[in-house]
Amino acid sequence: MHASSYKNMDNFVDKYLSMFENKNLEIIDIGSQDVNGSYKPLFSNQNWHYCGCDIAVGKNVDIVLNNVYDWSNIESSSFDVVISGQAFEHIEYFWITIMEIARILKEGGLCCIIAPSGGVEHGYPVDCWRFYPSGFKALARYSGLELLEVYTQWNEQLYPDYDPAWKDTVLICQKPIMTMEQKQKFNLKNKISKSILTLNI
């Protein structure tokens, strides 16, 4: 994990979670395996429960996903905060991942996703994508999440802590209160998105 990614997540905690210091929060980190650092120290508040989640057993991994795109071992609406950093560029079908993030978020819950807009190819095991604000805005719309903030750290003048190679893009969203009809439509959309992956063409 590069320093600017950690700083961006620190900024998210300071701006969006500091008012919940005395509230119990369930927080899950998607792609949490500690390869060269993790966000866990940022969520050490005694009232917060941090849970690391990844696709394989490893350091800082509490939950191993049963399926990369169908998180059946994580209940819907079970987390107050979902974070993910330096994972989305490695996810082949990230539009399904954002739907699962929206599914496991509680209504009113927050998510923060950080991914590079630049940088060299770094397969772990694959490196598929780079993200810009327009792309993250589209993901928010696709998943029904309300956009709170999105930015790319393009230059040092605007973002003193930016990394000139990776130029992080940051997405911060909130899950809205949903009607029963909206929940049914969301669940159907999520189910169809997953089922398409199993079609043999």
pLDDT tens, 73-88?
999 999 999 999 999 9
One DSSP character per residue, 165-193 reads TT-EEEEEEEPPP--HHHHHHHHHHHHHH
| The predicted structure's pLDDT at residue 31 | 97
pLDDT tens, 86-120?
999 999 999 999 999 999 999 999 999 999 999 99
Residue 105 lies in a domain: yes
Range of the domain at 120: 3-196
Q: How many domains does the chain have?
A: 1
| The predicted structure's pLDDT at residue 161 | 77
Residue 151 lies in a domain: yes
Residue 121 lies in a domain: yes
Residue 141 lies in a domain: yes
Sign of the dihedral through C-alpha 150, 156, 160, 163: positive
Low-confidence stretches of the chain (pLDDT < 70) are none
Residue 201 lies in a domain: no
CATH number, domain containing residue 153 = 3.40.50.150
d(CA 65, CA 30): 10
